[in-house]
Amino acid sequence: MAGRSRAASRIASRSLCFAILFMPDSTSSQLTHIGPSGQPAMVNVGGKAITARLARARARVVLGPKILALVQAGDLPTRKGPVFQTAILAGVMAAKKTSDLIPLCHPLGLDDCQLTIEVVQPDAIIIECTARVTGKTGVEMEALTGASVAALTVYDMCKAMSHDIVIEQVRLVEKTGGKSDFHHAD
């Protein structure tokens, strides 16, 4: 009997947590992707003005001094190809596919997407993705997706040398052209 009451208590506790997480309340009405019923909803951008929009995102990848030393003289070639060049291509491809990966993102025809990779001593790289579109919605998710997938590609291509690689500080650095601009102070 005691086992049943503990199990019932766990189920009741989980049900209460689920209800609290998905219960419509005043906070949900402030979230743009939650409809009045508390269900996920795509934002209607039909009434928005078409403007030039830009977003820049950054990811920091700690490779460790050993791997970083290998890339100091230039791009590190691996059996899968040159690491940085492959990561840049992967980041651009991912930015173009963001709406296929993030359920409520609007599909966008990007005007431009550029990635850069900078070596930062003593043991890291900074990947920066800048996405541009002329449209009714921003490109923050595309820039974040591009930087994230480029970082994941670097990890994938370097993991044979070390599993201590850390992807950190994926963040929006700047966005312009929408209702409000944002610039992260470094």
Tokens of 58: 């950054």
Count, residues in the chain: 186
The β-bridge partners of 167 are: 61
**3-class secondary structure, 131:** strand
Instruction: Catalytic residue, from 75, 111, 123, 156: name it.
Output: 156
| Cα–Cα distance measured from residue 150 to residue 52, given in angstroms and rounded to the nearest whole number | 25
Element (H, E) at 152: helix 140-158
Element (H, E) at 169: strand 166-176
Whether 156 is catalytic is: yes
Half-sphere exposure for 18 (CA within 13 Å, toward CB): 6
| Cα–Cα distance measured from residue 22 to residue 172, given in angstroms and rounded to the nearest whole number | 27
Supply the residues annotated as catalytic: 156
